[in-house]
Structure 1
Amino acid sequence: MSLPRHPSYDLVVVGSGPTGSAYVREVYDRHPTARILLLDAGPRLTDPPGTHVKNIADSAERARAQRASEGPGPAGRPGTRLLEAPDLPAAALSTNVGGMGAHWTGACPRPGGGERIGFIPDAEMDAHLSRAEQLLRVDAHAFDHAPFADEVRRRLAALFDAGRPPHRRVAPMPLAVTTRSDGAHTWSGTDVILGRAAADERVDIADRCLCLRVVLDGDTATGIVVRDLATGEERRVSARAVVIAADALRTPQLLHASGVRPPALGRYLNDQPQIVYAVRLPDDVVAAHRAVTGRTRDEDGAIVAQSGVSWVPYTDAHPFHGQVMQLDASPVPLADGTDVEPGAIVGLGWFCAKDISPDDRVEFTDTAADARGLPALRIHYRYSDRDLAAIEQAKEAVAEAGAAVGIPLDDSPLLLPAGSSLHYQGTTRMGPADDGTSVCDSHSRVWNTRGLWVAGNNVIPTATACNPTLTSVALAVRGARALLAHLDSTAERSTPAAQAGVGTA
């Protein structure tokens, strides 16, 4: 469908990625009569909607789905388009039902130390993280049998584990993936988060449907204005609650277009500098593995469809997040022409926590529009002196980790262009008080605007190094609790469900 079927809903969610879908699922599960609209400016790629593209078996179909997600403009990595922002040259976005949840790596580490949000009690946040892991079907052991995974972790643990608490030691990376009975894997997209909600008549999913602005009645959000991108037709849709979950760049853009402009809007833009390095395991380790398993390289190539992924957690003493991936089981020729045992090539990626500044921001103008008529944006972003120092420390740390694992294949660690992580955060950050440094409260409610929530990595207020999706879904779970209370508090009004004879809230 394109334009929504009904003129009014209990809840409208703009943006169908992991956090928007988490709001839908939580309200669907806990409010048995709520009518919900989930809309996205991009197309449906799959049936059911929101399926991860890795689960599309046919390579040509998978490539078509990725191209359909990119939209106009130069392509970034598959499924995304580059913004061509000089200060953040690798910045890229996807536009499709499921958002980046259709393309992400599935890494779901829990934040630790300074990555945690100090004004949310630990017990509450841990409960939200556990619920997020359920919604995403997180499994830390899906690839435990990947070649050499144990050996890689043993070597990393010998370097990093001393003095760490058990839950912050080297471990398999928690991944949003399900192991099937045949041993194959299904990656979690937003179809997994939505569950039965995606096929229920109480939930409408509108694709190719652009939200132009939030409708306000004084200080209360009462709905949205949408445009069918196929026909150009526009319509106003009423709602008792609105969630904007359109990513860290388009969420503040939409608030700006709606006249919701708290001082922190678009500020505190936070990416994660990313350093990469590659090594190969020593020949004696490979030979010992072959002797024990009896496998040849070709057999491994047939058996192992995905490499092992290991995790070096962030700590305040080691303020980097390490994501260690053994290359997929395909032949990798070395410079001398020697083929490498699958799993013996190890890629190390170290992510830094950015020095957060209000000057790093996405800025909007009322005098120019983008291709879809929303306020044009410009990104301002730079590395501070502390960032540059942290990047050098991360290069030293990843080189040390590489030396512990094996034989370097790169001359030195490489800093990827700014924006490469795709982990953009902070532009509608939450805070404990409305003091001008945040856009929403700890339950993601926009300050001074009743009935309006924001969602996504953009609400994370801390300097994180770990992959942010699990944290942002946990914050969506937290926000949904407050949203449900809002729906209950407005139950005395005539609801869309009641008007349609479905029931009362």
Structure 2
Amino acid sequence: MTRTFPDLVDVAIVGSGPCGAAYARILSERCPSATVATFEVGPLLADPPGVHVKNIVDPAARAQAQRLSEGPAPQRDDTPTDTLEGYVDTAPRLVRPGTFLLAAGYQQPGEDGLPSVAMSSNVGGMGAHWTGACPRPGGSERITFLPDLEELLDEGGRLLAVDAHAFDDAPFADEVRKRLSAAFDDGRDDDRRVAPMPLAVVRHDDGRVTWSGADVVFGQATRSNPNFTLVPQALASEVVIDGDRATGVRVRDLRTGDEHVVRARFIVVAADALRTPQLLWASGVRPRALGRYLNDQPQTVFAVRLRDVAHVSEEQVDSRTAPEIVPQSGVSWVPYTDEEPFHGQVMQLDASPVPLADDDVPAPGSIVGLGWFCAKDLQESDRVEFDDTGSDPYGMPAMRIHYRLTERDRASIEASRAAIRRAGEALGDPLDDEPLTFAPGTSLHYQGTVRMGETDDGASVCSPTSRVWGVDGLYVAGNGVIPTAIACNPTLTSVALAVAGARDIATRLDGS
């Protein structure tokens, strides 16, 4: 951590979320003599930098960390910081603790828009707030032009500390998977059958299990690297372009307002799927596909209470107030298939997302929340545009979302609602009458806006190693790089793609 802005580095990284952290980690491991600086628009939340807020032990400090992540206009102090709050909220614009909504431009007349589109600004990015789910893509979710995708996913799993068996002994977890398997597994390939959800978590010697944030991705290799610098509250306002090459980044110190131009041999923009194309646009880097093929995952939720299970003797712990993952936090996975183009995340919640009678105390692990995510029907016309005349609260080009659900999307949403009912019926008794399909944007899994392509054919922004077409030295990272319509949680895939990009930079540094 520093407030000193370097004049010259080998690699400048914009954004400190899991993908930006992956670049820093791979470069620290492969090129420890290279100078690397990461600039983050948001503040430091806690130590180590990038820690997941759920790992902050003190409740007041945890709540403060969430407020600090909420950008230029955080929610009021009296707003809930309970992440289960709003699980069944029918508000047309659902905002979650630690995130902030796009203030304007989220919906155009006659379009569906993304009313709940949101971002986070903090060291660690959305990796400080996520659920840690790291399933692998399957079927048409996979990027077919990457022959080494499996190895990259393995490496992404190493950086994120992915564990598929962290909660095998959670109460009723086996029973949950047994019931789901009976409802869904018939006719599926082995890797598409119901399984424990691979989770980004860290098991400690004392038995605790905590969430992986960007701190885990940074790892000791980055934190102990004397040539690595992390500067929070530093807004990257422009990538400096000289001819057909990126040569530096203009950064504004948000504490003082001072501007610095940091020269760099390579620049990685790893903001998020909205702010990465925004920075490229502000820098005059405007390929046709920039901001296009924007996709969100339509999300439906349901909650049930397991039927016919005995009360367990373990002391109940409310996961909403626990500083780490609790023993009954079982998470199961119903994978995506091309025949059923959605993905199910099944979480044993330990507390009901809907009110129960005062004297009704459920057995730990017996309340199950189901979340089904659909793959989007990709359209070039679904996009984020930028305004050269208007600006957002950071002074960057204002965003305007164009987004429509197609008939195919509506059909897959209805099919996912039927599937989530089927899952609920297999597990137990519903806690509400009908599943709830959230407003577009609620998933926070935005993709495609700086998508990868096999060739520079106008339908992509970057190469298979995340190099921006036509601008030497400039790379992009994050969920926006994913070119396929995936329904599963995207972080493992985007970190895997970041690994390929970081290796490419490392090879170029070694060869210089």
TM-score relative to the length of structure 2: 0.90
Q: Secondary structure at the match of 1:349?
A: strand
Q: Does structure 1 residue 10 correspond to structure 2 residue 35?
A: no
Q: Which residue of structure 2 aligns with residue 83 of structure 1?
A: 102
Q: Are the structure 2 counterparts of residues 376 and 298 from structure 1 closer, same or farther at C-alpha, using a change threshold of 3 Å? A: closer
Q: Are the structure 2 counterparts of residues 235 and 58 from structure 1 closer, same or farther at C-alpha, using a change threshold of 3 Å? A: same
Give a deviation string over 1:356-405, Cα, whole Å, max 9, x none.
11111100011112222211111111211110111011111111111111
Q: Does structure 1 residue 72 correspond to structure 2 residue 72?
A: yes
Give a deviation string over 1:393-426, Cα, whole Å, max 9, x none.
1111111111111112221111011111100000
Deviates more, 1:436-445 or 1:84-93: 84-93
Q: Secondary structure at the match of 2:12?
A: strand
Contact 2:328 2:365 in 1 (8 A): no
Contact 1:212 1:254 in 2 (8 A): yes
Moved over 4 A (4+): 1-4, 296-306, 329-333
Written as runs of structure 1 = structure 2, the 5 A alignment for 1:363-402 is: 363-402=385-424
Shift of 1:296: 6.2
Contact 1:2 1:208 in 2 (8 A): no
Which residue identity does 2:174 align to in structure 1? Answer: D
Written as runs of structure 1 = structure 2, the 5 A alignment for 1:257-336 is: 257-282=282-307, 285-287=308-310, 290=311, 295=313, 298=316, 304-328=326-350, 334=356
Contact 2:72 2:394 in 1 (8 A): no
Q: Which residue of structure 1 aligns with residue 273 of structure 2?
A: 248
Whole-angstrom CA distance in 2 between matches of 1:264 and 1:4 = 36
Whole-angstrom CA distance in 2 between matches of 1:338 and 1:65 = 32
Shift of 1:190: 1.1
Whole-angstrom CA distance in 2 between matches of 1:21 and 1:135 = 9
Contact 2:5 2:262 in 1 (8 A): no
Which residue identity does 1:94 align to in structure 2? Answer: S
Q: Which residue of structure 2 aligns with residue 235 of structure 1?
A: 260
Give a deviation string over 1:71-103, Cα, whole Å, max 9, x none.
223642111111132321111111011101111
Q: Does structure 1 residue 173 correspond to structure 2 residue 192?
A: no
Contact 1:13 1:244 in 2 (8 A): yes
Give a deviation string over 1:141-194, Cα, whole Å, max 9, x none.
111121111100000011111222222211111100012233221211111111
Which residue identity does 2:335 align to in structure 1? Answer: P
Q: Which residue of structure 1 aligns with residue 218 of structure 2?
A: 194
Q: Secondary structure at the match of 1:38?
A: strand
Which residue identity does 1:241 align to in structure 2? Answer: F
Contact 2:170 2:327 in 1 (8 A): no
Which residue identity does 2:119 align to in structure 1? Answer: L
Deviates more, 1:2-11 or 1:260-269: 2-11
Q: Which residue of structure 2 aligns with residue 485 of structure 1?
A: 507
Whole-angstrom CA distance in 2 between matches of 1:208 and 1:409 = 43
Q: Does structure 1 residue 95 correspond to structure 2 residue 121?
A: yes
Whole-angstrom CA distance in 1 between matches of 2:202 and 2:351 = 20
Contact 2:5 2:260 in 1 (8 A): no
Q: Which residue of structure 1 aligns with residue 142 of structure 2?
A: 116
Whole-angstrom CA distance in 2 between matches of 1:98 and 1:333 = 33
Whole-angstrom CA distance in 2 between matches of 1:279 and 1:330 = 9
Shift of 1:46: 1.2
Whole-angstrom CA distance in 2 between matches of 1:216 and 1:31 = 25
Contact 1:27 1:484 in 2 (8 A): yes
Contact 2:171 2:328 in 1 (8 A): no
Pair member with larger Rg: 1
Whole-angstrom CA distance in 1 between matches of 2:410 and 2:202 = 39
Whole-angstrom CA distance in 1 between matches of 2:233 and 2:490 = 27
Q: Does structure 1 residue 20 correspond to structure 2 residue 42?
A: no
Shift of 1:3: 4.9
Whole-angstrom CA distance in 2 between matches of 1:61 and 1:229 = 23
Q: Which residue of structure 2 aligns with residue 503 of structure 1?
A: none
Contact 1:52 1:102 in 2 (8 A): yes
Give a deviation string over 1:105-141, Cα, whole Å, max 9, x none.
10000000010012112xx000000000000001111
Q: Does structure 1 residue 435 correspond to structure 2 residue 457?
A: yes
Which residue identity does 2:60 align to in structure 1? Answer: A
Whole-angstrom CA distance in 2 between matches of 1:45 and 1:106 = 18
Whole-angstrom CA distance in 2 between matches of 1:299 and 1:415 = 29
Whole-angstrom CA distance in 2 between matches of 1:233 and 1:149 = 53
Q: Which residue of structure 2 aligns with residue 31 of structure 1?
A: 31
Whole-angstrom CA distance in 2 between matches of 1:36 and 1:396 = 49
Q: Which residue of structure 1 aligns with residue 92 of structure 2?
A: none
Shift of 1:297: 6.5
Shift of 1:340: 1.8
Whole-angstrom CA distance in 2 between matches of 1:32 and 1:208 = 25
Contact 1:330 1:342 in 2 (8 A): no
Shift of 1:200: 2.4
Whole-angstrom CA distance in 1 between matches of 2:473 and 2:414 = 45
Q: Which residue of structure 2 aligns with residue 137 of structure 1?
A: 161
Shift of 1:488: 3.0
Contact 1:170 1:310 in 2 (8 A): yes
RMSD: 1.9
Mark the runs of 5 or more structure 2 residues left unpaired by the alignment. Answer: 76-94, 108-112
Q: Are the structure 2 counterparts of residues 265 and 300 from structure 1 closer, same or farther at C-alpha, using a change threshold of 3 Å? A: closer
Shift of 1:59: 0.4
Which residue identity does 1:40 align to in structure 2? Answer: E
Whole-angstrom CA distance in 2 between matches of 1:469 and 1:476 = 10
Contact 2:350 2:366 in 1 (8 A): no
Contact 1:73 1:82 in 2 (8 A): no
Q: Does structure 1 residue 474 correspond to structure 2 residue 501?
A: no
Whole-angstrom CA distance in 1 between matches of 2:2 and 2:235 = 9
Deviates more, 1:217-226 or 1:165-174: 165-174
Contact 2:352 2:367 in 1 (8 A): no
Contact 1:402 1:408 in 2 (8 A): yes
Q: Are the structure 2 counterparts of residues 120 and 131 from structure 1 closer, same or farther at C-alpha, using a change threshold of 3 Å? A: same
Q: Secondary structure at the match of 2:69?
A: helix
TM-score relative to the length of structure 1: 0.92
Q: Which residue of structure 1 aligns with residue 248 of structure 2?
A: 223
Whole-angstrom CA distance in 1 between matches of 2:317 and 2:219 = 36
* Larger helix percent: 1
Contact 1:278 1:402 in 2 (8 A): yes
Which residue identity does 1:102 align to in structure 2? Answer: A
Q: Which residue of 217, 233, 255 corresponds with 1:208?
A: 233
Whole-angstrom CA distance in 2 between matches of 1:449 and 1:487 = 17
Q: Which residue of 130, 141, 155 corresponds with 2:179?
A: 155
Q: Which residue of structure 2 aligns with residue 50 of structure 1?
A: 50
Whole-angstrom CA distance in 2 between matches of 1:255 and 1:4 = 25
Q: Secondary structure at the match of 2:280?
A: helix
Q: Which residue of structure 1 aligns with residue 60 of structure 2?
A: 60
